[in-house]
Chains A and B, each alone.
Chain A
Amino acid sequence: MSLWQIIFRSLRQHWLSSGLAILSIALGVALLISVISLREQSHRNFTQEGLGVDAVLGPKGSPLQIVLNALYHLEEMPGKIKWSYYAKVIKNPIVADGIPFATGHSYAGFRVNAIDGRFFTDFEYMLGKHFSFDHRDGGRGRAFQSRNEAVSGWAAAKALGIRLGDTFNPVCGVNAGDPVHVNDTITFTGIMAPTGTPHDRAIYIPLKTFYTIEGHGPEVSRMAVDENYREISGAYLKIKRIRGNAIHPGIQDLKYNINQSSSVQLVIPNEVLPRLFNIIGWVDHVLLAIAILVTLMAALFLFTALFSALHERRRDIALMRSLGAKRMTIFGLIIAESILITIFGSILGVCMGHGIVAIGSHFVNVETGLHFSAYYLSRADIFLMPSMLIMGLIAGYSPRFVHTN
């Protein structure tokens, strides 16, 4: 019989204690992996260069509300800004580009944003990445070209079963019971390829459509033709870069100058989002602490399970010694058994952890449009396995002095 056969027989013989130890480790590892993975991916999602936006020009109000509305299609914009102000800002020498938008409409629970057509050609939702309608990327159709055309984000299209040629009537507002623009039927001409960003969860119509929708009244209609009257919800701004692809430092002066106004403000997402994380950071820390505690408990259980298994096996160990097994051989058997339990527990835990992320990511994606990957390798994945192996080694090593003598 090989030593491996002896180890596996022993594991089988003590299947209950071994199984419970494996399960405990797996649960601890799964919890730790899922918490750390979701935590890291949340940070990454909320800080990925402001989703391609260096700054958002918007009305006065809560900067967080503006970011959540403009970039994450949540909340409501606190007001509108004059087109003329936007036109003035984009002439600033450090502003590379601006894409104006108007929010406030919805369809079947998804936001309908009116936006400049350059959003689909010039806008980078991540560094160097433009929206695609190519079927090879998962997109379909094309960008809107006329007043009654619309484009759907990938997640919205998937959730609503939107096909090219389907039509809809936008709702004037984002709350249940808001009136529907029954006389404005818009046709979907394109579905954007998935981007893993909240843009997947929105529907886009031409900016001019916003002004010409029936029911908005003559004042809004006038905005379509007269820029002096025109208003927008805000604009995504791209700031010029300096060496090392760093954002032009003049953005702070620009922000300061704009924020002197009583009706307009410049919001830098990369400043606002970390603040949001600081607010909800304690939840994050509590989760992490729970995960660490569970893992420690699993470690303790491993120790207890090994001690109890070895206590049961004292007779077996004595017998093997009488058959000529060296002390080191017995020690090796115990260590190998401990490490095997740890490896099985860790592998099961890693699979379970990524499974939890996969399930969690589905719900997060449906709710927020943020993309979490089950295949994301967090720091926990990298450091946990060696740490668990060391733990298994210690757990196997400690009973040596008690039982092998």
Chain B
Amino acid sequence: MTITIDHLKVEYHNGGELLTILDIPFWHVKKGEQISISGPSGSGKSTLLHIIAGLLQPNKGSVQVCGQELTQLGEVKRDRFRAKSIGYIFQNFNLLQGFTALENVLLGMTFSAEKPHRQAAIDLLKEMGLDNRLKHYPSQMSIGEQQRVAIARALVKKPDIILADEPTGSLDPLHTGSVIVKLRQACEEQGCTLIIVSHEKEVVSAFEKQVCFLELNRAFAEKEGAA
């Protein structure tokens, strides 16, 4: 198993009130699987990705990722785990504006244990069709090109899991299709697990395994039901 979640609970105190954001009894994802997750805004999808990435700690439950029990790891070890095993893609690409496309991709390797390999970064950008954009800054690239740079950055360190949070949210339908195809191809080639969160039906339906977050997250389902 790549990911196993057991009795996960994330709660926040809002004044005197205890808000349950996530309540997932059980969920597992196998190595190399490609899964799309859909669900309404604010249902906790991004929080789940943050927990899998080790950016957030749940209040209760167990989160095993790549054989590591994240709830037992200290912050430094979780940082190390994330640097090595997780590739993260954001809706707004989050490229550093002061860095070129190539430098943004190299940054993906900077914090991992692996030594930054310039040629690997160049090759990956070429695979993404960005041969002539290596030295361009994000502001000089189109939105589709920026997202491809963000994908290359996530893939360059050969992570075990790619977590993509609304990766096509800012793209037009034409670019959406090509970006998803490239992302899935690259994950297949590298044998890494892909979990993608999206609102878009075309994106969600492109995956064989689809998860409706309402079913996964009991807390939100209960809340919706109550409403």
A6 adjacent to B53 (CB under 8 Å):
no
Q: Which residues of A contact B220 (CB under 8 A)?
A: none
Q: In A1-45, which residues have CB < 8 Å from any B CB?
A: 1-3, 5-6, 9-10, 12-14
The residue from A2, A9, A315, A322 contacting B82, defined by CB atoms under 8 A apart = A322
Contacts of A319 in B (CB 8 A): 90, 94, 96
Whole-angstrom CA separation of A324 from B151 in the bound complex: 16
User: Do A321 and B55 touch across chains, with their CB atoms under 8 A apart?
Assistant: yes
> Across the interface, which residues of B come within 8 angstroms of A328, CB to CB?
76
Cβ of A216 under 8 Å from chain B: no
- The reply to whether the CB of B42 lies closer than 8 angstroms to some CB of chain A is no
Within 8 Å of chain A (Cβ to Cβ): is B123? no
Alpha-carbon separation in the docked complex, A198 to B121 (Å): 69
At the interface, yes or no: A160 with Cβ under 8 Å from chain B? no
Contacts of A3 in B (CB 8 A): 110
Tell me which of B82, B107, B112 has the highest count of chain A C-beta atoms within 10 A of its own C-beta. B107
Question: Contact between A327 and B107 (Cβ–Cβ < 8 Å)?
Answer: no
Q: Closest chain A residue to B113 by CB distance? A: A324
A49→B111 CA distance, assembly (Å): 63
Specify which of B86, B98, B99 is in contact with A324 (CB 8 Å cutoff).
B86
A327 proximity list for chain B (CB < 8 A): 75-76, 79
- Which residues of chain A (202-245) have a CB below 8 Å from chain B? none
Query: Which A residues touch B153, using CB under 8 A?
Result: 323
A324-B82, A324-B84, A324-B86 known; A6 and B75 CB under 8 Å?
Answer: no
Q: Tell whether, in the assembled complex, residue A6 and residue B84 are in contact, meaning their CB atoms are under 8 Å apart.
A: no
- Considering the chains assembled together, what is the distance between the CA atoms of A315 and B96 in angstroms? 9
Q: A323-B108, A326-B79 are in contact. Are A13 and B53 (CB under 8 A)?
A: no
Contact A323 B88 (CB under 8 A): yes
C-alpha gap A321/B50 in the complex (Å): 11
Interface centre among A5, A10, A323, A329 (most CB of B within 10 A): A323
In chain A between 91 and 119, which residues have their CB closer than 8 angstroms to a CB of chain B? none
* Contact status B107-A322, CB under 8 Å: no
What interface size band does chain A fall in?
20 to 34
Q: Are B103 and A325 in contact (CB under 8 A)?
A: no
Contact of A1 among B75, B83, B88, B103 (CB under 8 A): B103
Determine whether A137 belongs to the interface, using a CB cutoff of 8 Å to chain B: no
In the complex, chain B residues whose CB is within 8 Å of the CB of A2: 110
**In the complex, A159 has a CB within 8 A of chain B:** no
How far, in angstroms, from A1 to B109 measured CA to CA in the complex? 8
Residue contact A324 to B83, C-beta cutoff 8 Å: yes
Of the candidates B97, B110, B116, which one forms a contact with A13 in the assembled complex, judged by CB atoms under 8 Å apart? B97
Instruction: Name the interface residues of A310-363: CB closer than 8 Å to any CB of B.
Output: 315-316, 318-329
Complex Cα spacing A130 to B107, Å: 67
**Which chain A residues border B111 with CB–CB below 8 Å?**
320, 323-326, 329
Interface size on B, residues (CB 8 A): 27
Chain B hits for A322, CB < 8 A: 53, 55, 82, 88, 90, 94
Residue of B nearest to A15 (CB): B98
8 A Cβ contacts from B15-39 to A: none
Cα–Cα distance between A319 and B94 once the two chains are bound (Å):
7
- Number of residue pairs A-B, CB distance < 8 angstroms: 67
In the assembled complex, the Cα of A323 lies from the Cα of B106 at a distance in Å of: 11
* Residues of A close to B108: CB separation below 8 A: 323
Q: Are A325 and B83 in contact (CB under 8 A)?
A: yes
B80 within 8 A of A: yes
Q: Is the CB of B98 within 8 A of A323?
A: no
B55 in contact with A323 (CB, 8 Å): no
Bound CA–CA A322/B79 (angstroms)? 8
Task: Please report the C-alpha to C-alpha distance between residue A238 and residue B116 in the assembled complex, in whole angstroms.
Answer: 75
Complex interface: chain B residues within 8 A of A321 (CB): 55, 79
Complex Cα spacing A113 to B106, Å: 76
**Residues in B75-134 with C-beta less than 8 Å from chain A:** 75-76, 79-80, 82-84, 86, 88, 90, 94, 96-99, 103, 106-112, 116
Q: Which residues of A contact B99 (CB under 8 A)?
A: 9
Question: Are A323's CB and B96's CB within 8 A?
Answer: no
With CB as the reference atom, state the residue of chain B lying closest to A14: B98
Asked whether A1 lies within 8 Å of B80 as measured between CB atoms, the reply is no
Q: If A9-B99, A13-B97 touch, does A325 touch B79 (CB 8 Å cutoff)?
A: yes
Docked Cα-Cα span, A204 to B187, in Å, equals 93
Q: Is B79 in contact with A1, judged by CB distance below 8 angstroms?
A: no
With contacts A325-B83, A327-B79 taken as known, whether A315 is within 8 angstroms of B103 at the C-beta atoms is no
Report B-chain residues with C-beta under 8 Å of the C-beta of A329: 111
B11 to A: closest C-beta gap in Å: 19
A9 to B106, CA, bound (A): 13
Contact status of A323 and B110, CB under 8 A, knowing A1-B116, A13-B97: yes
CA distance A322 to B107 in the complex (A): 11
Q: Is the beta-carbon distance between A316 and B96 smaller than 8 angstroms?
A: yes
CA distance A106 to B162 in the complex (A): 90
Nearest residue (CB) in A for B116 is: A1
Q: Is the CB of A9 within 8 A of B94?
A: no
**A6 / chain B contacts, CB cutoff of 8 Å:** 107, 110
Kindly list 13 other residue pairs between chains A and B, CB separation below 8 angstroms, not including A324-B82, A326-B75: A9-B98, A9-B99, A9-B103, A13-B98, A316-B96, A318-B94, A319-B94, A322-B55, A323-B83, A323-B110, A324-B79, A324-B84, A327-B76
A to B CB contacts below 8 Å, 9 in the list: A1-B109, A1-B116, A6-B107, A14-B98, A318-B94, A319-B96, A324-B82, A324-B111, A324-B112
Closest 7 CB pairs of A and B: A324-B83, A13-B98, A324-B111, A326-B79, A324-B82, A325-B111, A1-B106
